[in-house]
Amino acid sequence: MPTATPMPRTLDAWLQQLGQLCLPIEQEQHTRLRRTLTDGRKTWRDIAQQIEHCPTFALQVLREANQSSNSLNEPADSLEIALARLGLQRCEALLAKTPALAEADIPLALRQILLISQHASQQARGLFGSRLARLWNELHGCSLLFLAPLWPLLSQYPQLFETWEQRVLVKGEAPGKVEREILGVPLIQLCLKLAERWRLPEWIVRGYQLLARDRRELVKALHIARDNEHPLHQQQMLDADIPLRHWLTHPSNCVLLANGLAVSAHHAWSTDHCLRWQRLIGLYLQLPLDAVQQEVHQHAVSSAQAIHDPTLWHPAQALLWPWSARRLKPAKAVERSSPPPALETWRQHCKRLLSEPSDFANVLQLTACARDALNDCGMLRVLVLLADRQHSRLQSQQMAGLDKAALALNLDPSNSQILRRLLAQPGQLRLSPENAAQYSALLPGSLKALFPGEHLLLRSITNNGRVVMLLVADQDGRAFNDISLQAFAKTAQCIERALHNFAKRPR
């Protein structure tokens, strides 16, 4: 679960934070796994099949086996081999150390990426299983775990998933630019280093090496795959490039193809990104595009039938829609008018803030009332940050409408020109589409990840002439309405008055 550590900005810091992170397991799954591991009648294969239903524990077993084994040994390329290396007793101990949480307490972003991984595994089995029958275990296990380096990232910072969806899938921003702004490092590079550190199977590492270091073969294959309507010409081009043909038919590419398809289908089936993966699959299988699409749609339906969770999105749902429909829409296409503020309850909160003598026994009560007042004035996402005496740290104190990870936010103002200015003297910054490009880059990536969108308010709050608090709020990414802006300004004044009254309360 999210911790109180600030978001890293370097590759080494990310590896240190995510490398040994223990991923949670849903309580019922935890109970079933414990029963499986203590059932002496089950074979290694039976146990492996049960563990595969819980991908996070499958990762932990494989990671433990490969990191604790002699470095001269080949990494275990299947769950069965990993289980045999560890033994049941160590697996039981590993499970005992793994947190068992209610489903609602597991970050939604983590559960969603796990569904994408399971969908990729289904696609790999359906598309390539018969061709790679002798490599069934490797195909299934590697397809399921290919996206595993993302799992601890989204377990620790689940808000990053929605930010990536909106900026990369919806707005079409360059992934590299978005990743450097938010993470400080390229995402593929981070995934590769984690896969190498955990000694994941070679097929997984090869896929990330291809994406991170050498895409030439992939680009050449994509160029040939576009000519899907002329299979004879495609074959002639492959025959003319023997190294490319050998590369294309390597079984490890099936893992990359299945996961590329699953990730792109998460947005829509008809995007250029998804069509590129479908054409590549067609080139690998020597099938026309319409036959590939029919197959991948059937496998998607099978996956949805096996993994039914109404709180998550499965691409198979979009097969009922028009072909051009997409789940994610640009903000302007779905923009709704901001809801009117709850003025009556807002007035009650403001009245309490203005009470003299102060109505609060401690700062936590005061900031909770401030948060509720901001929420009721129409701000759907609110973050209240307290500054230390030296203005060297901003610590999250209260939040509304955000993921629980927001409470762990800890910012260093020295890394942001905007934060330094707001702490140096009282002020307010309102981000809009007109100035977002100018100011957004000057905000910490971890803060922007909590508030995706181009409409944002930041206001410093003073007490006795010194900034002690920072308010960050928006209306769920929508354009602000005038009533809420006026109420926000009034609320900020009430908070400053509440701090003044609190400071002079009788002790």
Q: In the prediction, which pLDDT does 189 show? A: 95
Could you say which DSSP state residue 243 is in?
A: H
Q: What residue ranges of the chain have pLDDT lower than 50? A: 1-5, 331-337
Is 416 in contact with 393 (CB distance < 8 Å)? no
The two counts, helices (H) then strands (E), for the chain are 26, 8
CA 136 – CA 139 distance, rounded (Å): 5
Q: In the prediction, which pLDDT does 330 show? A: 58
What radius of gyration do the chain's Cα atoms show?
26
Q: In the prediction, which pLDDT does 337 show? A: 45
**Kind and range of the H or E element at 333?**
helix 331-334
Nearest residue to 285 via CA among 131, 447, 481: 131
CA 378 – CA 383 distance, rounded (Å): 14
Q: In the prediction, which pLDDT does 334 show? A: 37
Q: Render 278-325 in DSSP notation, one character per residue.
A: HHHHHHHHT--HHHHHHHHHHHHHHHHHHS--TTS--GGGGGGS-TT-
Average pLDDT, the chain: 88
Amino acid at 300: A
Reported as half-sphere exposure (CB side, CA atoms, 13 A), residue 138 has a value of 19
Is 476 in contact with 440 (CB distance < 8 Å)? no
pLDDT in tens, 400-436: 998 887 888 899 998 888 999 999 988 999 988 888 7
Tell me yes or no: is domain 343-503 CATH 3.40.50.2300: no
CA 256 – CA 208 distance, rounded (Å): 9
CA 457 – CA 472 distance, rounded (Å): 6
**Order of strands across the sheet that contains 381-387:** 410-411, 394-400, 381-387, 466-474, 456-463, 428-431
Is 68 in contact with 51 (CB distance < 8 Å)? no
Strands 100-101 and 466-474: unpaired
Name every residue whose Cβ is closer than 8 Å to that of residue 83 and which is 6 or more positions away in sequence.
44, 47, 48, 51, 61, 65, 91
Tell me yes or no: is domain 11-24+106-315 CATH 3.30.60: no
Is 396 in contact with 407 (CB distance < 8 Å)? yes
Could you say which DSSP state residue 489 is in?
A: H
Nearest residue to 257 via CA among 131, 358, 166: 131
CA 219 – CA 241 distance, rounded (Å): 13
Residue for token pair 């050449």? 220
Q: In the prediction, which pLDDT does 69 show? A: 61
**413 cis-preceded (ω within 30 degrees of 0):** no
Q: Which residues of 373-407 are buried (b: 16+ CB within 10 A; e: fewer)?
A: bbbbbbbbbbbbbbbeeebebbebbbbbbbbebbe
What is the biggest distance separating any 2 CA atoms in the chain, rounded to whole angstroms? 88
Q: In the prediction, which pLDDT does 477 show? A: 85
Q: In the prediction, which pLDDT does 6 show? A: 62
SS3 per-residue string spanning 246-270: HHHCCCHHHHHHHHHHHHHHCCCCC
Nearest residue to 357 via CA among 346, 366, 368: 366
The two three-digit tokens of residue 402, written as one number = 């955000």
Amino acid at 158: P
Where do the domains of the chain lie?
11-24+106-315, 343-503
**Three-state DSSP class for residue 239:** helix
**Three-state DSSP class for residue 146:** coil
Q: In the prediction, which pLDDT does 145 show? A: 97
CA 329 – CA 318 distance, rounded (Å): 14
**Three-state DSSP class for residue 103:** helix
CA 400 – CA 367 distance, rounded (Å): 12
Burial label for 491, CB within 10 Å (0-12, 13-18, 19+), is buried
Question: pTM, whole model, 2 decimals?
Answer: 0.70
Q: In the prediction, which pLDDT does 2 show? A: 39
The two three-digit tokens of residue 243, written as one number = 């190294």
CA 165 – CA 449 distance, rounded (Å): 11
Describe the chain by its helix, strand, coil percentages, rounded to 5: 60, 10, 30
Q: In the prediction, which pLDDT does 265 show? A: 94
